[in-house]
Amino acid sequence: MRPALALSALLALTPAAHALPDKAFDEAARTVKVEQTTPAGSVAHKIIDVDPRLWVEVEAPDSETRTAVSDAGVSIEEVLAGKASGFALPAAIEALRKTGLKFKALPLKSRFHPEDFPKEDAAFHNYAEMSAELSALAAQGAGLASLFSIGKSLQGRDLLALRLNSAASGNEASARPGIVFMGNHHAREHLSAEIPLLLAKYLINNREKPEIKALLAARDVFIIPMVNPDGVEYDVDGDRYHMHRKNMRQNPDGSAGVDLNRNYGFHWGEGGASTDPGSDTYRGPAPFSEPETQSVKAFIEAHGNLTVLLSFHTFSELILYPWGHTHAPIPDAPALAAYQAMARTMAAWNGYKPQPSSDLYIASGDTTDWAWGARGIFSFTFELTPKSMWSGGFYPGAAAIASTFQANLRPALYLIDMADNPRRAGAPQQAASRETTVTGGR
């Protein structure tokens, strides 16, 4: 039986403790001027219409082998039954052959059959609909909620943040312990935007319930559902899915996009981040080269009260924590114990598998490594439902929204609670009393 979230102890706040950030690899944002010489999206349309990617399945039973697959240029999307599967350009296929690993490759259309945007998926929100929902929530939650922009996307769309704090609004400073929930770093991962949106609705709709009222009175909660609105808009353009991951930068080779989750400055440009602009994991020309990651960086740096960050992604049903750029554990032993305890606790509620990100494969320049390594923020990535490409992959259908939110509500509330001092999760008395039942997998 899964343990219940004990919200009765929310007022028993302990002093916050701060991790020591590693500044050595915190690359400063580099302003990169991007000249738009063609209408937005036109280059991407051309690329997708002649999509050169293939779907590959590689025999890769361990993290080291999967890292070799990733370093060959494969964007690994699924790890199941000793195989790593994902997208690869022809150049990556050639690099994969040189590794000697066994694999098979299929044209994208042989593995996935494009279809019209299904009517039942209308429950998912495009950018305009998301903006309208957030505006309505800010009005509904007057006195608690405020809506503001943390910056602009490459194509000029506001990166909207909904803030829940009765004592501060917009970008004002706050002494309350803070947490930020983010979604849609990757365009095709539409479910990752719906979960933080539903969390905002839940907190506002239940703001008068004693346990939620106590929680909101003591915390500073930020919700940024759509970090990559340009990519989201393109992925559903033309009433069909484009399987697009990146933002909408026009690359010099004519390809479209930078992988925003390989563009952060901490250990940027190391393993698992491609130099090929056409790759799904293209890291960009420089750390923080993209306006979207620059905006997230500036937002987090402006709010020194943030202690916890949760970035929602899809898919595989995993709870991931640093490091991603190396197989070595984080050197702060008490913090590592807290990470492990929090991950186990949340896994007992949502049934996901908890593990360091690098247990999958090495990937550098991601959000959570930067947030922890440069800012000392306890940072997690949730890879949401489903478990595999075969069971829905990036497009699991609208029926997945409600059930995925219910599975992740307790973990979200738990992280809000823990934001006062995440390190307390690793205290021996806390760990000894916590019942966990870890299931799930990727």
Q: Longest C-alpha distance within the chain, in Å?
A: 61
- Helix H or strand E encompassing 370: helix 367-375
3-state SS string for 259-307? CHHHCCCECCCCCCCECCCCCCCECCCCCCCCHHHHHHHHHHHHCCCEE
Neighbours of 209 (CB within 10 A): 13
Q: How far is Cα 421 from Cα 415, in angstroms, rounded to an integer?
A: 10
- Choose, from 78, 292, 383, 435, the residue flagged as catalytic: 383
- DSSP E strands in 315-386: the ranges are 318-321, 353-356, 378-384
Q: Measure the CA angle with vertex 13, ends 9 and 18; round to 5°.
A: 135
Show the tokens assigned to 130.
Answer: 């998301």
Let me know if 120 is exposed, middle or buried by CB neighbors in 10 A (0-12, 13-18, 19+).
Answer: exposed
Q: Measure the CA angle with vertex 8, ends 438 and 407; round to 5°.
A: 35
426 contacts 338 by C-beta, under 8 angstroms: yes
Task: State whether residue 89 is helix, strand or coil.
Answer: coil
Q: What is the DSSP secondary-structure string of 111-173?
A: H----B--GGGGGS--HHHHHHHHHHHHHHTTTTEEEEEEEE-TTS-EEEEEEE-TT--TT--
> Which residues have CB under 8 Å from 36's CB, separation 6+?
155, 250
Chain centroid to CA 228: how far? 11
Question: Is 383 designated active site?
Answer: yes
CB-facing half-sphere around the CA of 252: CA atoms within 13 A: 5
The closest of 213, 372, 259, 373 to 307, measured between CA atoms, is 372
Strand 178-182 to 220-224 pairing: parallel
Backbone angles phi, psi at 259, to 5 degrees: -75, 110
| 54-59, strands of its sheet edge to edge | 75-80, 83-88, 54-59, 103-107
What amino acid positions are annotated as catalytic residues?
383
